[in-house]
Amino acid sequence: MQSGQGMRIGMIGFGEVGHVFAKGLLAGGATIAAYDLLFDDPEAAAAATRDARSVGVVPAATNAEACEGADIIFSCVTASQALAVARKTAGSMRAGQVFFDVNSVSPATKRAAAEAVEAAGADYVEGAVMAPVLGPDLKVPILGAGRRAGEIAERLNALGMNIRPVATEIGRASATKLCRSIMIKGLEALIIDCTRAAAAFGVTEDVFKSFYNSYPGMDWDEIAATMPGRVEKHGLRRAAEMREVAAMLRDLGMDGSLADAVADRHERYATIETKRARQSEAAE
């Protein structure tokens, strides 16, 4: 496997995360071929492939084509499709290639994906993206785990990434990510309902004053201002992630109902707000 200039990367999924990573990796000297379901959509294919080419990515017609000749294959899909994509892509991989799974799924899902990839003779490394990608972009903190996690971190960090290997066993990185999500995604859902209810009763000032008294180190005004927009934009993806959290908790024999409720709240909020925005645009 090459490092730095000349590294060949395949990418499955070319949404927000794939797009951000691709731009940074290309700037570091890599070449990238990507496949996305939108490339097969008659209505979206032309715009989607044009978008890929505009940043220097070669659109691939299939998963197999994206994998051909690649050193590392990134999986940047939705949580609900992560395992299916790993299983499908495994059949197109060869010995020496690495499947780098950066999807937000449970440790059990990552282990199942690893089994599929390794049964095909390739290698699997999990990546847990620990913050929103937009902003830090390629420098977003990522935890890595797997037998080749240290090697992959060294090679991709040379291209500008920020991967910290934490274990050789699959599951630790994703467990860290999803345990964090219990708090962060839960807080997002809570703050939205809290601020809306407080506003409806006209008690926002007193409620927030009590927040600052109890937790003076947190900027509650900033949290309340930014989280609704983040949930509106990313709520469906975060809902899928929280369902993986619920699955993780049940695997431990714990109650996953709170995580399911947070998932429902993110999904409902994102869906309702998106619908309202579209209705408003149509009315204008």
Q: What's at 284, amino acid-wise?
A: E
The answer on pLDDT for 139 being more than 90 is: yes
Please tell me which residue, 283 or 237, carries the higher pLDDT value: 237
- Distance of alpha carbon 231 from alpha carbon 186, whole angstroms: 11
- The 10s digit of each residue's pLDDT in 163-184 is 999 999 999 999 999 999 999 9
Quote the DSSP letter at residue 6.
T
Q: Across the strands, what pairs with 80?
A: none
Tokens (6 digits) for 238:
């975060």
**What is the token pair recorded at 9?**
């990367």
Query: Two tokens at 155?
Result: 């090679």
Q: At what angle do helices 257-283 and 172-201 cross, to 10 degrees?
A: 60
Q: Which amino acid is at 65?
A: E
pLDDT band at 234 (very low <50, low <70, confident <90, very high): confident
List pLDDT tens digits, range 192-204: 999 999 999 999 9
Alpha-carbon radius of gyration of the chain? 20
φ, ψ for residue 25 (rounded to 5)?
Answer: -70, -35
The pLDDT value recorded for residue 262 is 97
What pLDDT score was predicted for residue 284? 53
Q: What is the arithmetic mean of pLDDT over 1-17?
A: 83
Kindly tell me the burial class for residue 115, based on how many C-beta atoms sit within 10 Å of its own C-beta (0-12, 13-18, 19 or more).
middle
> Which residue reads 């590392």 in tokens?
72
Residue 147 pLDDT > 70:
yes
Indicate whether 246 pLDDT > 50: yes
pLDDT, mean of residues 103-126: 97
39, pLDDT greater than 70: yes
**pLDDT score of 105:** 96
pLDDT digits (tens, 9 = 90+) for 74-95: 999 999 999 999 999 999 999 9
For residue 273, pLDDT beyond 90: no
- List the beta bridge partners of residue 144: 127, 165
End-to-end CA distance of the chain: 54
Indicate if the pLDDT at residue 2 is higher than 50: no
What pLDDT does 276 receive? Answer: 63
- Tokens 């097969």 locate to 40
- Residue 129: name the closest of 103, 167, 98 by CA: 103
Neighbours of 279 (CB within 10 A): 10
Core vs surface per residue 67-79: b (16+ CB within 10 A) or e: beebbbbbbbbbb
User: What is the pTM assigned to this prediction?
Assistant: 0.90
Output the pLDDT for position 152.
97
- Give Cα separations from 254 to 142, 227, 251 (angstroms): 27, 28, 7
- Report the percentage of the chain scoring pLDDT > 70: 94
pLDDT band at 6 (very low <50, low <70, confident <90, very high): confident
Q: What's the Cα-to-Cα distance from 138 to each of 26, 174, 280, rounded to whole Å?
A: 11, 19, 35
The sheet with strand 31-35 has its strands ordered as: 58-59, 31-35, 8-12, 72-75, 98-101, 123-129, 141-145, 162-167
Is the separation of the CB atoms in 29 and 3 below 8 Å? no
Give the mean pLDDT of the chain: 93
Over 90: is that where the pLDDT of 56 sits? yes
pLDDT category, 283, cuts 50, 70, 90?
A: low
